[in-house]
Amino acid sequence: DVVNNISEVFDHKLTALGAHRSQTEAMLEDTHAKIKNKDAATLKWLQLEQFWTYKWE
């Protein structure tokens, strides 16, 4: 229920993910290809960070 638009800095997000190469290398190869092809779902994932809040009673 909380969405932060980070489209202006999503390249920084990719750089940060790339800093964890051993954990993200395969994913980022695929991601870069999808970005080149302007894949809508991938761009949405990178540009809109979604968070949910829970109300515990």
Report if residue 39 sits inside a domain. Answer: yes
Q: Give the range of the structural domain holding residue 24, as residue numbers without chain letter.
A: 2-51
Report if residue 17 sits inside a domain. Answer: yes
Mark out the alpha helices in 1-57 (DSSP H runs): 10-18, 21-36, 40-47
User: So what's the pLDDT on residue 49?
Assistant: 92
In this model, does residue 57 exceed pLDDT 90?
no
| HSE toward the beta carbon, residue 7, CA cutoff 13 A | 8
DSSP code of residue 9: G
CB 18 within 8 A of CB 28: yes
pLDDT tens digit sequence for 1-45: 899 999 999 889 889 989 998 898 888 888 899 999 999 999 998
Q: How many domains, the chain?
A: 1
Polymer length of the chain: 57
pTM for this predicted structure: 0.67
Report if residue 56 sits inside a domain. Answer: no
User: So what's the pLDDT on residue 1?
Assistant: 84
User: So what's the pLDDT on residue 13?
Assistant: 87
